[in-house]
Structure 1
Amino acid sequence: MPISPYLKSLRERVGNDLLLLPAVSAVIRNDVGEVLLARSYGDDEWALIGGGLEPGEEPAAAILREIREELGVEAEVSQIVGAYGGEGMFITYPNGDRCAYVTTAYACQLVSEALTIEEDELREVAWFTPDEVSGLDTQPWVARILTDAGIAT
């Protein structure tokens, strides 16, 4: 999904300046213990499915919306893994926009594994064993979240 109307209105006022934004991330595992990761366009690093909250949106509802939008499938939230912020959550996008995210990570299960990837946002998704994840180039916060979720990386 392109930039939200809310974030677009902020960017019109602050340009590329740093914004502190609330976000959500999904730790999605399948029945054999693999973890679902994705890569976006313009970024070679693997990451968790997730995104920003809209004004007034509950975080648990936001992660279900993000999964639905990005993967085309319904999901269920089982528990909060943790909340994460700090310098490891700073991102500068290719257009120069700078964001500092504070994300709440949720353990989630997909209702179906028949994914329909949002091709405007994601270029690739794949299932990985914990051993495979440790050899991937991932976003800086992925290992910390997966470790907290009980997934060795």
Structure 2
Amino acid sequence: MTTPSFIVELREKIGHDLLWLNGVTGLVEDAEGRILLGQRADTGEWAMVYGINEPGEQPGDTVVREIKEETGIDAEVTDLVAVTSSSEIITYANGDRTQYMDHSFLCRLKPGGNADPFVGDDESLKVGWFSRDNLPQPLAKSTIERLKIFDAYQRNKAAGDVHALFVSDGQLH
């Protein structure tokens, strides 16, 4: 998995100390309601597209870029669904410790863009479209948690409540 150069430079200064990063998650849906997932090369688990904001990059631009890089899919953001902070510290195999502020975006296929996924980089083993009632296994824990947030948002939106969700005191609002 490629580590962004700005993180490599920071790690040269701070070593494995805890690093707070802005991340994005993209739930891409096609016209049939299927969702785009990739099998992660580092864990073998299936997950939505995740990524890290480059300095100065807008989160919505980051998620579109990450979707294109990882899956070849041309997507566009339709909704900011949630902004959440991870409570757990992630420790990577090399000892680096990180926590994320995640911006979760609902996305759709960009009209006229590529809709046929392919593995676009070394972060994924496979990518594809899956119906929600037939998701591949194993799913990453973070994808399971975020799917619940997306599902709650979409239920609320269907009922006419279109505000982004947030977590406060461990509760989804």
Give the TM-score normalised by structure 2: 0.76
Quote the offset at 1:128 in angstroms: 2.2
Partner of 1:113: 115
Residue 41 of structure 1 and its aligned partner are, at CA, apart by 1.5
Partner of 2:80: 80
Looking at structure 1, the residues matched to 8 and 36 of structure 2 have their Cα atoms a distance apart, in angstroms, of: 29
In 2, Cα distance between equivalents of 1:119 and 1:4: 14
Query: Taking structure 1 as reference, are residues 127 and 115 closer, same or farther at Cα in structure 2, changes over 3 Å only?
Result: closer
Q: Is residue 21–residue 101 contact of structure 1 (8 Å, CA) maintained in 2? A: yes
Match of 1:95 in 2: 94
- Counterpart Cα distance in 1 of 2:92 and 2:39: 14
Q: Paired residue for 1:130?
A: 132
Unaligned segments of structure 1, at least 5 residues: none
3-state SS of paired residue (2:141): coil
Corresponding residue SS for 1:63: helix
Q: Which has the larger radius of gyration?
A: 2
| Aligned partners of 1:24 and 1:52 also within 8 Å | yes
Distance (whole Å) between structure 2 residues aligned to residue 68 and residue 30 of structure 1: 15
Let me know the Cα RMSD of the aligned residues: 2.1
Please say if residues 42 and 94 of structure 1, whose CA atoms lie closer than 8 Å, have aligned partners that are also in contact: no
Code of the aligned partner of 2:92: Y
1:31-87 alpha-carbon deviations (Å, 9 max, x no partner): 222211112222022221020001111111111111121122321100011112233
Partners in 1 of 2:78 and 2:34 — Cα distance?
A: 17
- Secondary structure class of the residue paired with 2:44: coil
**1:100 Cα shift?**
0.9
Higher relative contact order (CA 8 A, sep 6+): 1
Partners of 1:35 and 1:20 lie apart in 2 by 29
Q: Distance in 2 between matches of 1:83 and 1:139?
A: 19
Deviation digits for residues 86-124 of structure 1 (CA, Å, limit 9, x no counterpart) = 335x32222222211111010011233222322322112
CA positional deviation for 1:10: 0.8
Whether 1:25 and 2:22 are equivalent positions in the alignment is: no
Give the Cα separation in 1 of the matches to 2:9 and 2:33: 41
Between stretches 113-122 and 45-54, larger displacement belongs to: 113-122
- Under a length normalisation based on structure 1, what TM-score does the superposition of the two structures give? 0.85
Q: Which residue of 2 aligns with 1:2?
A: 2
| Partner Cα separation in structure 2 for residue 45 and residue 141 of structure 1 | 10
Letter of the 1:106 partner, please give it: F
Are the structure 2 counterparts of residues 5 and 119 from structure 1 closer, same or farther at C-alpha, using a change threshold of 3 Å? closer
Aligned length: 150
Determine the C-alpha separation between the residues in 2 that align with 1:126 and 1:114.
8
